[in-house]
Amino acid sequence: MLDVERLSKIYVNRGDGPAGGLQEASFSLSGATFFALLGPSGCGKTTTLRCIAGLERPDDGLIRVGDEIFFDATQGVSVPMNLRRIGMVFQSYAIWPHMSVFENVAFPLRVARDEKFTAGELARLVDEALARVSLDGFGSRSATRLSGGQQQRVALARAVVRKPRLLLLDEPLSNLDAALREEMRNELRRLQQEIGVTTVYVTHDQTEALEMSDRIAVMSQGRIVQMGQPQEIYFRPANRFVADFVGTTNWLKGQLGETRPEGLRELTLGSGRSIVCTAPTAAPANAHVSIRPESIALHAIDTSRPPETNRLEGSIVFAGFLGVMNRYQVDTGDAVLQAYAAASAQHRVGDRVALDFAFRDAAVLPE
Amino acid sequence: MTSDSADVPVAAPMRASSLRGHATDLFGRAWLGVLIAGIIAVLVLPPAWTLLRTSLGTIQNDMSLSGLTLQNYADLAASPRLATTMLNSIVFATFATLVSLIFGGVLAWLVERTDVPMKGLAYLTTIISLGTPYILYVTAWLYLLGRAGPFNDIYRGLIDPEASPFDVNSLAGMVMIEGFLWSPLVFLLLSSSFRAANAEMEEAARMAGASIAQTMMRISLKLAWPAILALALFVFIRNLESFEVPALVGMPGRVDVLTTEIYRSIKEMPPRLGYASAFSVVLLLIVSVLLFFYGRISRHAERYASITGKGYRPRPFLLGKARWPAACFILFNFLVVLLLPILALVWVALQPFVRPMRWAALNFLTTKQFAAVLTSPHYLELGINTFIVAVATASAVMLLTLFAGWLAGRRQIGGVVSDQLVTVPLVFPGLVLGVALLELALRLPIPIYGTLWLIVVAFMIRYMPYGMRYSFAGILQIHPELEQAAGVSGAGRGTMLRKVVFPLLWPAMASGWLFIFLLCAKEMSLPLLLAGPNSQTISVAMFDLWSNGQGGEVAALGLIWAALMTGVAATFHIIMRRQSAGTFGH
């Protein structure tokens, strides 16, 4: 459906902070996919989106939707943005303040070059789009008299009113407050599935990306560093950057040692203690191990260690009660590790505890 | 892991069709920028070139230009007039700047940062005086401080019947009148920077134990200093360029400054165009240098600006016992800047000839002057001329800068060039631009000299930078995504501009239009040089009337004109408010 090949866009010294360039990004999506571009600011995710939309002209590469080529550097093809028939929701929503809600949504139909709509068709399509975003009856409202959430819905209605081939969303939820954001997350996903449009979603919020997407591409410094389903990204991060950026993780440093069966290796920590972890065969001897806080179980020291499990002992240096759970930081001598425990747990700062985590939950990751 | 599609086609060599595609694509994006930059260049560059060329040539008897010589500059350097007029100009500009800065600055601080009473009066005074033509103001003061005016009259009545201690046609008189002329603007600009200043900085100083005076000296003044300095330089430049006061006040008393010297040499028979051009180039260079420093200082000032945007008003300083003396200052301002001049004008307009303010003279009150102005077809024609010029100029400037502002604000092709070219006229004092256009028009094959259109072109050049400020600021307030959303929705560039940018820019454009309209309606120096017998405007007529000693008619004409302009401005303002309320739902 959407194919992007070796897309590059280099900004030459923009003078305002890190240049948000893009290098050789490639991906292809099948129809009706919800695809998230996830990364920190300046990683190139917005540049990718703007290149697909036609707001930026890439330096190199190819963009194709279905069998129509939007951009091809080798053939010098670049379809102007207004002929691409794409729906887009901007970060600021970009609701035109001098038009009513109806006129905002009707705009793409009114300026369409290839199709002419009668007044009746136009009204029907706009009402349909407004109904999709639960704004029935808001048509005559002035666009300036809308709350943030309503503006968001108008922007969505405008983006889908012409049945676009592709829906592009540029951090659409970042201007909403937390409660509204969760509501809109569900609604966006529902809308996308209803109309079955291929969607590219730019965000720096990993929770959003994990919850909403069929596939995620994690970007860093202008490159796609990992692409896959949410579970794949979370449980099998390709490198240290992805593990750090998606979710929270603990790091232990050590020397890789003896090889065990089934892809496991021994790792000797700085203190001389050793643990068992998974590691790629080519990993260098100096290794970093990632352990997710939620895969660490906190036990009293005198309990017995389950099989296939590492155990590190340490004392609690920080205890925080979050309502749904407790968050502890435990100094093991090698590092301060973060771990979660049920809300009912009652460890206190200074207590000695045992940290247990399965061999398979500790993974050596490349740089 | 980065690519799902492994089979990547081999890069095809660049084909001719793609080159052509690139060319048409580039043309499609560039033609608007090239067109706009071209129009601006055609307007802006020839005057500068003509001025320079004339200053370096010899004028033949048939007005043609020949040779390349520094003779004009040599004459200039040898002439004692250069040193005298330059010194006069500098003294005049410096002291006038000081007067308006101290007067307007103190007023601004009192109104914005203290609990002085009668703040409204200060604003009222300022707004009304900004709408009054300078020449009207100047004539009012000429009467007030003149031989027959009330000040000399009272002195004669009380102390010495033979003396006239106030000599208005002197450097001191010029300084005073020019100073009062600019103090309303200083007040407006400084009050906005006092208002924007972060009061927490002052409050922090007070909490740290500083007294009001210490806070003022060590914090407020230090923070405002770059802004004050920039404003001082700006007013200084304006004073150097000013023509109204030197011409009306200085010339009769033989006090000449750079601008009046240029005017004199043009009006001589035969006109000494080469000499005037050399003089103009000198003035132009001085202004350019000063503007360069102004740009640097005001950038510095922006860094000091600490606008919080929290929208809360700082607690004013409590003046205590000083409240009423401070109020007297505001009253004094009202009296000097508004009431006295207007009373004087009304008095002069209602008398058959200029005479002192006496009870006895009340018997001679007459509406003859008003009747003369209102019934004369000549004045009606002048009014219509002025209207045509002002409307044409304001519309043309706003239309041109609308595109230029968009190109520059959105960094389109041609935007940067347009932006830079548009600011070029800032270095032209009105009179110098007049000289340049006069020379240009005399040499052009098209018969534009002596028509209203020459004045329109001159005003367009002069006020383009102002129009650009409005449109550029307006564009920057429109979020770029509003335009991009239109593009992604399927609109081409033309549709996007027409349906999104223009409607949103409308309020900014309308205020810019009104501003330029009012400036054109009262500016004198340009039309004075460029008007032919059939292309006179109101301000030129007022100058001529005054030169002929018809003070009464000047006053009557001026009052009627000022009332008309105030009416236009007010109506426009009300319509605008309604319009934008309709559009933006505020």
* Cβ neighbours of A144 in B, within 8 Å: 584-586
A344 interfacial to chain B (CB closer than 8 Å): no
For residue A111, the distance in angstroms to the closest alpha carbon of chain B comes to 5
**B16-32 per-residue burial string, b: 16 or more CB within 10 A, e: under 16:** eebeeeeeeeeeeeeeb
A318 interfacial to chain B (CB closer than 8 Å): no
The two structure tokens encoding residue B100: 């308006």
A80 interfacial to chain B (CB closer than 8 Å): yes
Q: A109 and A157 in contact (C-beta within 8 Å)?
A: no
For residue B571, the distance in angstroms to the closest alpha carbon of chain A comes to 23
Q: In whole angstroms, give the CA distance from residue B385 to residue B365.
A: 31
B479 interfacial to chain A (CB closer than 8 Å): yes
Q: In whole angstroms, give the CA distance from residue B204 to residue B183.
A: 31
* Cβ neighbours of A26 in B, within 8 Å: 2-5
Q: How many A-B residue pairs are in contact by the CB < 8 A criterion?
A: 119
Choose among A42, A352, A31: nearest CA to A223.
Answer: A42
A224 interfacial to chain B (CB closer than 8 Å): yes
* Cβ neighbours of A75 in B, within 8 Å: 12, 15, 18
B162 interfacial to chain A (CB closer than 8 Å): no
pLDDT at position B311:
40
Interface of B with A in 25-44 (CB under 8 A): 25
**Closest Cβ opposite residue A224 in set B2, B492, B496:** B2
Q: In whole angstroms, give the CA distance from residue B461 to residue B431.
A: 13
**Closest Cβ opposite residue B18 in set A76, A91, A224:** A76
A142 interfacial to chain B (CB closer than 8 Å): yes
Please state whether the peptide bond connecting residue B270 to the residue before it is cis, i.e. omega within 30 degrees of 0.
yes
Contact: B481, A6; criterion CB under 8 Å: no
**Closest Cβ opposite residue A111 in set B25, B491, B586:** B491
**Closest Cβ opposite residue A97 in set B485, B488, B584:** B584
**Closest Cβ opposite residue B5 in set A5, A55, A84:** A5
For residue A318, the distance in angstroms to the closest alpha carbon of chain B comes to 37
Which amino acid is residue B561, in one-letter code?
A: W
For residue B495, the distance in angstroms to the closest alpha carbon of chain A comes to 8
A348 interfacial to chain B (CB closer than 8 Å): no
Q: Coil, helix or strand for B114?
A: strand
In this prediction the ipTM stands at: 0.77
Widest distance between CA atoms in chain B: 107
Q: Coil, helix or strand for B582?
A: helix
For residue A90, the distance in angstroms to the closest alpha carbon of chain B comes to 7
**Closest Cβ opposite residue B11 in set A26, A54, A74:** A74
* Cβ neighbours of A242 in B, within 8 Å: none
Contact: A80, B503; criterion CB under 8 Å: no
A22 interfacial to chain B (CB closer than 8 Å): no
Average pLDDT over all residues of chain A: 90
**Closest Cβ opposite residue B490 in set A113, A144, A224:** A113
Which amino acid is residue A288, in one-letter code?
A: H
The two structure tokens encoding residue A191: 């809308």
> Closest-CA residue in chain B for A161?
B489
A88 interfacial to chain B (CB closer than 8 Å): yes
C-alpha count within 13 angstroms, C-beta hemisphere, residue B93: 25
How many angstroms separate the Cα of A352 from the Cα of each of A330, A335, A356? 9, 15, 13
* Cβ neighbours of B18 in A, within 8 Å: 75-77
pLDDT at position B3:
39
Q: Tally the residues of chain B.
A: 586
Give helix A119-132 / helix A101-110 axis angle, nearest 10°: 120
B499 interfacial to chain A (CB closer than 8 Å): yes
Contact: B585, A88; criterion CB under 8 Å: no
The two structure tokens encoding residue B68: 């390349």
pLDDT at position B586:
39
* Cβ neighbours of B29 in A, within 8 Å: none
Burial of B240 (0-12, 13-18, 19+ CB in 10 A): buried
* Cβ neighbours of A226 in B, within 8 Å: 1
* Cβ neighbours of A76 in B, within 8 Å: 14-15, 17-19, 21-22
> Closest-CA residue in chain B for A217?
B2
How many angstroms separate the Cα of B315 from the Cα of each of A167, B198, B203, B318? 51, 11, 9, 9
Return the percentage of chain B with pLDDT > 70, whole number.
88
Question: SS3 string of chain A?
Answer: CEEEEEEEECCCCCCCCCCCCEEEEEEEECCCCEEEEECCCCCCHHHHHHHHHCCCCCCEEEEEECCEEEEECCCCEECCHHHCCEEEECCCCCCCCCCEHHHHHHHHHHCCCCCCCCHHHHHHHHHHHHHHCCCCCCCCCECCCCCHHHHHHHHHHHHHCCCCCEEEEECCCCCCCHHHHHHHHHHHHHHHHHHCCEEEEEECCHHHHHHHCCEEEEEECCEEEEEECHHHHHHCCCCHHHHHHCCCCEEEEEEEEEECCCCEEEEEECCCCEEEEECCCCCCCEEEEEECHHHCEEECCCCCCCCCEEEEEEEEEEEEECCCEEEEEEECCCCEEEEEEECCCCCCCCCEEEEEEEHHHEEECCC
Q: B241 and B18 in contact (C-beta within 8 Å)?
A: no
10-residue mean pLDDT series, chain B (586 residues): 38 47 71 92 89 80 69 83 90 95 89 84 79 80 83 81 80 92 85 70 69 75 80 89 89 89 84 84 88 80 51 64 88 88 87 74 79 86 91 95 91 87 86 88 84 93 90 86 90 89 87 87 85 86 85 86 82 73 51
> Closest-CA residue in chain B for A106?
B489
Average pLDDT for A83-103: 89
pLDDT at position B55:
85
Contact: B3, A77; criterion CB under 8 Å: no
pLDDT at position B7:
37
- The single-letter DSSP state of residue B316 is P
Q: Which of A37, A57, A79, A98 should we substitute to test contact with B (largest number of B Cβ atoms within 10 Å)?
A: A98
Choose among A253, A273, A255: nearest CA to A265.
Answer: A255
How many angstroms separate the Cα of A165 from the Cα of each of A168, A195, B390, B452? 10, 11, 51, 57
> Closest-CA residue in chain B for A96?
B482
Contact: A94, B2; criterion CB under 8 Å: no
Q: How far apart are the first and last CA of chain B?
A: 53
pLDDT at position B51:
85
**Closest Cβ opposite residue B5 in set A28, A53, A54:** A28
* Cβ neighbours of B488 in A, within 8 Å: 53-55, 81-82, 84, 86-88, 168
pLDDT at position B320:
78
Check residues A71 and B11 and name the one with the higher pLDDT. Answer: A71
B495 interfacial to chain A (CB closer than 8 Å): yes
Burial of A127 (0-12, 13-18, 19+ CB in 10 A): middle
B481 interfacial to chain A (CB closer than 8 Å): yes
Which amino acid is residue B35, in one-letter code?
A: L
A14 interfacial to chain B (CB closer than 8 Å): no
Phi/psi region, residue A291 (left: phi>0; alpha: psi -120 to 50; beta: rest), is beta
* Cβ neighbours of B503 in A, within 8 Å: 98
Reported as a pLDDT band with limits 50, 70 and 90, residue A127 is: very high
Contact: B484, A55; criterion CB under 8 Å: yes
Contact: A158, B485; criterion CB under 8 Å: yes
Q: What are phi and psi of A76, to 5 degrees?
A: 70, 30
Q: Which of B2, B26, B477, B505 should we substitute to test contact with A (largest number of A Cβ atoms within 10 Å)?
A: B2
Contact: A98, B583; criterion CB under 8 Å: yes
Choose among B371, B365, B372: nearest CA to B346.
Answer: B365
